[in-house]
């Protein structure tokens, strides 16, 4: 029982007070850290898309940042689009944390996403239909096994 509780705690997300994600990604265009306006979240250039929602106050999000970067590099090689949305805070901390993910990070100070917890992994199709929702960080031994656990391969 203790191992099961430890595993559950390891996968637990940092909490937030808002509702669950919608069945479709929002038709929102967020600014990138680089200052451009990104494409609508409701579309994706590939058959499957991974949207990762994180917040600057979330310790798990900070610990997972290197693994998220490795996952995004791996997905680039497999032809699966991915994006990181940083939100649930003031713009200053959002920008600071988004810098860890690069200039294409999407900034969400207005709250296009209001998840119950972060990190949140959303797998969607090319039209924004949410296929899978994973709350927390599924720790695995490699980017490819993480992609597999998320149902992207």
Helix (H) or strand (E) holding 132: strand 130-135
Other CB atoms within a 10 A radius of the CB of residue 113 amount to: 26
Q: Say how far apart CA 116 and CA 112 lie, in whole Å.
A: 13
Asked if pLDDT for residue 19 goes beyond 50, the answer is no
| pLDDT tens, residue by residue, 102-126 | 999 999 999 998 898 999 999 999 9
| pLDDT tens, residue by residue, 54-105 | 999 999 999 999 999 999 999 999 999 999 999 999 999 999 999 999 999 9
Other CB atoms within a 10 A radius of the CB of residue 7 amount to: 11
| pLDDT tens, residue by residue, 119-147 | 999 999 999 999 999 999 988 999 999 99
This model's pTM is above 0.75: yes
Asked if pLDDT for residue 1 goes beyond 90, the answer is no
Q: Say how far apart CA 53 and CA 51 lie, in whole Å.
A: 7
């Amino acid at each position: 029982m203790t191992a099961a509780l430890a595993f559950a705690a390891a996968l637990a997300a940092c909490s937030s007070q808002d509702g669950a994600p919608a069945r479709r990604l929002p038709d929102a265009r967020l600014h990138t850290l680089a200052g451009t306006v990104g494409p609508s979240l409701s579309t994706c250039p590939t058959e499957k898309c991974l949207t990762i929602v994180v917040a600057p106050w979330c310790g798990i999000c900070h610990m997972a940042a290197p693994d998220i970067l490795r996952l995004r590099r791996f997905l680039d090689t497999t032809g699966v689009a991915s994006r990181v949305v940083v939100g649930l805070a003031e713009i200053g901390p959002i920008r600071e944390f988004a810098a860890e993910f690069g200039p294409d990070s999407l900034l969400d100070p207005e709250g296009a996403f209001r998840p119950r917890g972060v990190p949140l992994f959303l797998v969607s199709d090319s039209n924004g239909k949410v296929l899978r929702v994973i709350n927390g960080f599924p720790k695995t031994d490699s980017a490819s096994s993480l992609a597999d656990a998320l149902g992207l391969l």
